[in-house]
Amino acid sequence: MSEINLGIIGGGQLGSLLCNAAKKLNIKTIIFSDDIESPAKNFSDEFIFGDYKDKNKITEFVNKVDIITYEFENIPFETLNELNKIKTVLPKPSINRLIQHRLAEKDFINKLNIRTTRYVSIEKKSDLDTLEDFMPGILKTTTMGYDGKGQFPIRDIKEINSINIDFSKDYILEKLVKLKKEISVIITRFGNNKYEIYEPIENIHENQILKQSKIPADISENISVQSKNWAIQIAEELKYIGTLCVEFFIDRNENLYVNEIAPRVHNSGHLTINAYNISQFENHIRAICSLEKIAIKKLFNAKMINLIGNEIVPYRQNLKLNNNEFFFDYLKKEIKDKRKMGHLTILN
């Protein structure tokens, strides 16, 4: 088989881990990122730095690759659409456009008769005035948010005046769910009713940032079945190709809600690298490159801990690991508060 050149837009840790998986499959990776310090350039075969709207850079990138994917949502639709006219972009640009917009995403999910949190569109400050019954709530920018960025928890409408919110942006207001637990389901779809699905992963967030993930999730059989069925339904409806993650809330009355969809590999799935025969990253590449679909098998139960900010330091100083522990350093130059610097996976 001739060599495949895989183009990846975005240069974060998800891109890095995709590059590692590609290497295993003898696939060459070319990262295109608007961050000159992209951690993924340490893992890819080639790196192109440029603005996502820079026509010359887009042309340079597209000429080097056979197929294109992306590792985060916040890429201009026009860029993905232009690229897709020349080389196949997967997941389809239209899917990314839908999911990168929190309102469109939630409308789509509700049309499938799948439960989400209660939500309402906020276009100007006065829209909030009459929304007492959405309190306590959480105000989120409709686009460009991640890791809790662009989110404002609000306990009481009266608080609004004391919070510095830029109302030139569009928002969604969600009623806060009284959380019992959060889980995610990762599915890789290869074609019509052809997919591999990982068991639900239990997630713990701190300050809206993922801190820990583990399998098995401590959930009922009902929730397990329903979450997987909803993930399958979403993937089929989108005619999705590649790896997709659905994030769920479980409330104190055992109701399941879809929180959001990630049209990509996901942080909660990092443990699939060590706990399964085929990781979410390898499966993504297998699906988009039309390689063989291999049945996934769990090898170990596992826990993944995100190393945020300074937590990376002791691990970088050669902390001794047990042979069931795996440390990943994303090689980000600057340690920042709330920045995901690496992770640790512990098998058992």
Binding pattern for the stretch 235-274 against ligand ADP, x by CB under 6 A and - elsewhere: ------------x-----------xx--------------
Minimum distance from CB of 120 to ligand ADP (Å)? 12
* Residue 117 found at the interface with ligand ADP (CB under 6 A): yes
Window contacting Mg ion (CB under 5 A); options: 158-166, 168-176, 182-190, 245-253:
245-253
Nearest to 181 by CA among 126, 136, 248: 248
Partners of 85 in the β-ladder: none
Binding pattern for the stretch 162-191 against ligand ADP, x by CB under 6 A and - elsewhere: ------------x-xx-x--x---------
Minimum distance from CB of 257 to Mg ion (Å)? 13
What is the Cα–Cα distance from 67 to 9, expressed in whole angstroms? 11
Q: Is the dihedral of CA 223, 193, 302, 304 positive or negative?
A: negative
* Residue 75 found at the interface with ligand ADP (CB under 6 A): no
Minimum distance from CB of 135 to ligand ADP (Å)? 12
CA 203 → CA 4, 260, 267, 271, 281, distances in Å?
35, 14, 10, 12, 19
Minimum distance from CB of 182 to ligand ADP (Å)? 5
Tokens of 51: 């603005």
By CB under 5 A, the residues from 247 to 266 that bind Mg ion are 247
Minimum distance from CB of 269 to ligand ADP (Å)? 14
The half-sphere exposure of 289 on its side-chain side, counting CA atoms within 13 A, is 26
7 alpha carbon, distance to own chain's centre: 18
- How many residues at the interface with ligand ADP, by CB under 6 A? 16
Degrees, nearest 5: CA angle 254-119-152: 95
> Are 76 and 53 in contact, with CB atoms under 8 Å apart?
yes
Question: Which residues would be at the binding site for ligand ADP (CB under 6 A)?
Answer: 117, 138, 145-148, 174, 176-177, 179, 182, 205, 208, 247, 259-260
